[in-house]
Amino acid sequence: MSNQRIKTPCVGLCSTVYGDLVCRGCKRFHHEVVNWNLYGEEEKRAVWRRLEILLVQVMTAKLEVFDPSRLRAQLEQHQVRFVLEQSPYCWAYQLIARAARVINRLDAYGVALLPEFRDWALPNLREAIDREFFLLSEAHYERYIAPRFLRERMEIRL
């Protein structure tokens, strides 16, 4: 596996350049994408942590990681990059995101789909995960971030 540490959540599919307030690729907020290189370690950790919490929420509703050690070993063997400090559910997402079209038996990776998703093709499941992850990120932005920006804009006008 590459020894390079993943330094940014960016996945190279940025939609903030098209005006989205939440990136459809990495699920960061527009201002986080723009300011990422200006952030200190604490700010970056906070973004990483929020993304991890939201992704784990989506993943645990669809699958179970029953053998994290096996999952890690398989990711390393197949050179799939992942953030070691994150939940194994984030690792499972990286596996599905990078290899959904070539995986025959998910259980060989220490992962099992929950009964209601066992008939799903992995590429379709990946799309559903990404869609739900984006919707959660967007809802978080609208609930906690957007109102603050609106208040700040109103204060500037006054």
Q: What is the pLDDT of residues 58-98, one digit of tens each?
A: 999 999 999 999 999 999 999 999 999 999 999 999 999 99
Q: Is 47 exposed, middle or buried (0-12, 13-18, 19+ CB in 10 A)?
A: buried
Give the integer Cα–Cα distance in Å for 128 and 135: 11
* Residue 155 pLDDT exceeds 70: no
Q: If you average pLDDT over residues 44-59, what whole number do you get?
A: 97
Distance, CA of 65 to CA of 6 (rounded, Å): 22
Q: Which two tokens stand for residue 129?
A: 């995960």
Length of the chain in terms of residues written: 158
Q: Where are the domains of the chain?
A: 52-157
Report how far Cα 98 is from the mean position of its chain's Cα atoms: 13
Q: How far is CA 64 from CA 3, 46, 59, 67, in A?
A: 27, 25, 8, 9
List CB contacts of 105: < 8 A, sequence separation 6 or more.
none
